[in-house]
Amino acid sequence: MTVLSARAAVVTGTPQRYAKQLLSHLGRRTSWATDGDTSIADIAGGRGQVVVGDGVLTLIAEAPDTATLERVQHVLGSHLERFGQRNELAVTWVSDADPSGAPTPPATADHQRPGRH
């Protein structure tokens, strides 16, 4: 099975704080497994990773197809950008399919937040 992946390295002076906030928020709907500085969870039909580094927070999205990859990227990227809005955090994804880099994909037209109708 082919797995597509995308990575975003977000430079910030407080990667630990943003990782904690992101994992706490997304942890309401999914369980994260954390080993050292890396946390992994199944998200939106794919897999997401949040890796805390020195001055950088790395997001990794993996999925079996492009549509699912974009959903995982959207979930991780849009929440981090919202939490980091005051500090103007921007998530730019570099993927197997598009190595030039792209912003966080928008939500699909049929996207609804869980629990909302």
Q: 100-115: per-residue pLDDT in tens?
A: 666 666 665 555 544 4
Q: Where are the alpha helices (DSSP H) in the chain?
A: 15-26, 66-83
Q: Over the stretch 40-54, which tens digit does the pLDDT of each residue have?
A: 999 989 999 999 999
Say if 75 falls within a structural domain: yes
Q: Is the pLDDT of residue 117 over 60?
A: no
Q: Give the strand pairing for 56-63 and 4-11.
A: antiparallel
On the 0-12 / 13-18 / 19+ scale of CB atoms within 10 A, 74 is: buried
Number of domains in the chain: 1
Say if 113 falls within a structural domain: no
Classify the phi-psi angles of 20: left when phi > 0, otherwise alpha if psi is within -120 to 50, otherwise beta.
alpha
70 CB-near residues (< 8 Å, 6+ apart): 105, 108
Q: Is the pLDDT of residue 97 over 80?
A: no
Q: Residue 87's domain is classified under what CATH number?
A: 3.30.310.50
Say if 50 falls within a structural domain: yes
- Residue 61 backbone dihedrals phi, psi, to 5 degrees: -115, 135
Maximum Cα–Cα distance across the chain? 40
Q: Over the stretch 54-96, which tens digit does the pLDDT of each residue have?
A: 999 999 999 999 999 999 999 999 999 998 988 888 999 998 7
Owning domain of residue 63: 4-103
pLDDT band at 116 (very low <50, low <70, confident <90, very high): very low
